[in-house]
Amino acid sequence: MAITPRFDLEGKTVLVTGASRGIGRACALACAGSGADVIVGVRGLADGAALAAEIEGLGRRAVAVELDLADLATVRGAVGAAVAAFGRIDVLVNNVGVGPENLAENVTEEDFDFTVGINLKGTFFTTQAVGRLMIARRSGRIVNISSQAGTVTLKGEAIYCMTKAAINHLTRCLAAEWAQYGIAVNSVAPTFIWTDGTRPSLSDPTFHAAVLGHIPLGRIGDPIDVAGTVVFLASPAASLITGANILVDGGWSVA
């Protein structure tokens, strides 16, 4: 029996959705840096090609595939292209998520359908497509990027919070169903993270101070904070973990 846990991803092939920026980009690079070949799932292939080239510069294989969770045909196409390129998908990182902000009384049907369509429908059917391959191979890891919003309440984010709570429970349901096939399913729930999307809000001193007031560890997260947890859950070191939701929130949920 090994006495030292393995935290690397040597020999693994990882598909990261929404990999062009922010948390998805950090996850793709962290997986490559840990030894994995990476399928870069993006809506714009130009951005994906640049990231794939960066990953290849790290000595790993990479391919960019068009993947838009609002268009399930691209999901099926992306999974097929990934298998054609690498023969299998060992790890799926479901990173894509949207959250248009609006007070509950002002949410429109369009807002609702868009958020639920991407965060739940798109995530589920991406997972199903990859899960079928993993079931056939009787092996796999799935890591869903959830949010602290699935555990705590955020004003103006009722629909987003609802979808992330659903992702947490979907994680548990799939973990229970697919354990028999050797598939582990977990989720990672970040707090506010410095990304291109959050930077305008977090750069406002008042908003920044309000956010920090909820985080006992006293700082906004960086994408690598999330990526490190993803790599751990995908690695051999986490081989007995499934159905877990790991909060990367600096203590927000327990404060």
Q: Which residues participate in catalysis according to the annotation? A: 160
**By the 8 A CB rule, do 72 and 47 touch?**
no
- Tell me the C-alpha distance between 243 and 255, whole Å: 24
d(CA 64, CA 42): 7
d(CA 150, CA 226): 16
Contacts 24+ apart (CB under 8 A), 199-204: none
Report the C-alpha gap between 186 and 189 in whole angstroms: 10
